[in-house]
Amino acid sequence: MLDRNLVSDRFWYKSNDFNFRLSFPEENTVKKQMLFTRIDYWRNVFIRHLKLKTNQNIMLYHNQTSLDTFAIYLAAIECDLNLVEDNADFLLHTLADSELINLELSNKKHYNYFDLADLRFDGVCDYKQNGTSIVYGTALKDIVIDKNKLKGSLLHTKYLKSNLFVDFMLPTLASDKIEFHSCLGYTNIEEGMTKISTVIQKTGIKNILLPSLETVDVLCDICAKKDIDISKLNIISYDTKLCYSKADQRQPQDTVLQTLPTKYGLDGKILEDEDTFYFQFNNPIDNNIAQVKIKSMNSFIKSKYNKTITKWAVLNNNDKDEAMIIFRNLQW
């Protein structure tokens, strides 16, 4: 059964100068037992404080990542809570109120991580795991973990995509070949990648997880401007599937998708999310005109990609990661 026992005995976590929990005990250089302590803490939060019930749906949105991110995921699984990307009974997040509204998540029952991270509990949560939780659509018993994907040091950033948790976080926590784990999130891509470039340079990170190919481009451009050598850095990102690539072997984005809106006289961009496309309008547009334009584009998109644009909206948002969250939760 999937639980904390998957974590490697060699697990080692190192914080960095930019981590948002830097002054707290778990954000020192710690090993496996501190992670287990925080798993126990979050079990108390879920069962004794929030009184969540078996197989309730929980959505996690953490744009700032830390050791607690690992603990929260594993504690949720040990409490038989279902991890979901939409239709959540409960949202645990690290967002400001304004961001919560912009992402259209404020109508869900939610708590900010900072309101729950430092409660005090007497005793331990004695909940006994049944192994019935569903992890992003997959039954716990059907999850297969390949713990031999990476070796060396690893910097985790945002986990806003279910595949990243199943295909990346779990295998790396189980791996005996990871020298150490570190974490760093961000809200603004430019500012975030600037901090991340400094961490890469100072700590000699060998592997980094980024949540989208757009962030890969920004990081590489910033490192080039700062003359930081990342030729040996292994960048792992997500497009339509996990991809492993060297920084100097990046594949250009699909220029057809980039230029298609202009050809149809639209101010916006196409976002790809596994088996579907979304369209983000940059400015308000008459709904009837939007439907005609989207229908025309879909005729071409269907023939070339065997997909269609299934949702569209006007968004004042330049962060693709956050735009994806909005579209996935958009009632249509």
- CA-to-CA distance for 313 and 164, rounded, in angstroms? 26
Give the per-residue pLDDT at 252: 45
* Tens digits of residue pLDDT in 300-312: 898 888 889 999 9
Neighbour-count burial for 138-158, b at 16+ CB within 10 Å, e otherwise = eebeeeebebebbeebbbbbb
- CA-to-CA distance for 238 and 163, rounded, in angstroms? 9
Give the per-residue pLDDT at 99: 83
In the chain, what is the greatest distance between 2 CA atoms, to the nearest angstrom?
63
Parallel, antiparallel, or unpaired: how do β-strands 134-135 and 138-139 relate?
Answer: antiparallel
Residue with more model confidence, 19 or 55: 55
Amino acid at residue number 133: S
Read off the DSSP letter of residue 219.
Answer: H
250 — pLDDT class (breaks 50, 70, 90): very low
- CA-to-CA distance for 50 and 43, rounded, in angstroms? 10
Q: What is the CA radius of gyration of the chain?
A: 20
Task: For residue 219, give the nearest of 248, 194, 245, 186 by alpha carbon.
Answer: 194
Task: For residue 33, give the nearest of 71, 60, 1 by alpha carbon.
Answer: 71
Q: What percent of the chain has pLDDT over 70?
A: 95
Structure tokens at 158: 């945002």
Q: Which long-range contacts (CB under 8 A, 24 or more apart) does 324-329 make?
A: 324/160, 324/161, 324/271, 324/273, 324/278, 325/61, 325/103, 325/105, 325/160, 326/102, 326/103, 326/104, 327/271, 327/273, 327/278, 327/280, 328/85, 328/86, 328/273, 329/85, 329/86, 329/103, 329/104, 329/105
Average pLDDT value for the chain:
89
The segment with the largest mean pLDDT, out of 120-129, 160-169, 313-322, is 120-129
Stretch 29-53: mean pLDDT: 97
Exposed / middle / buried, residue 5 (Cβ in 10 Å: 0-12, 13-18, 19+): exposed
111: helix, strand or coil:
strand
Residue 251 has pLDDT above 60, yes or no: no
Residue with more model confidence, 104 or 44: 44
**Concatenated DSSP letters for 63-78?**
SS--HHHHHHHHHHHH
**Residue ranges of domains in the chain, CATH in brackets:** 1-251 (3.40.50.12780), 255-329 (3.30.70)
Task: For residue 88, give the nearest of 54, 57, 132 by alpha carbon.
Answer: 57
- CA-to-CA distance for 93 and 62, rounded, in angstroms? 5
Give the per-residue pLDDT at 246: 54
Residue 36 has pLDDT above 90, yes or no: yes
- Do residues 272 and 257 touch, judged by C-beta distance below 8 A? yes
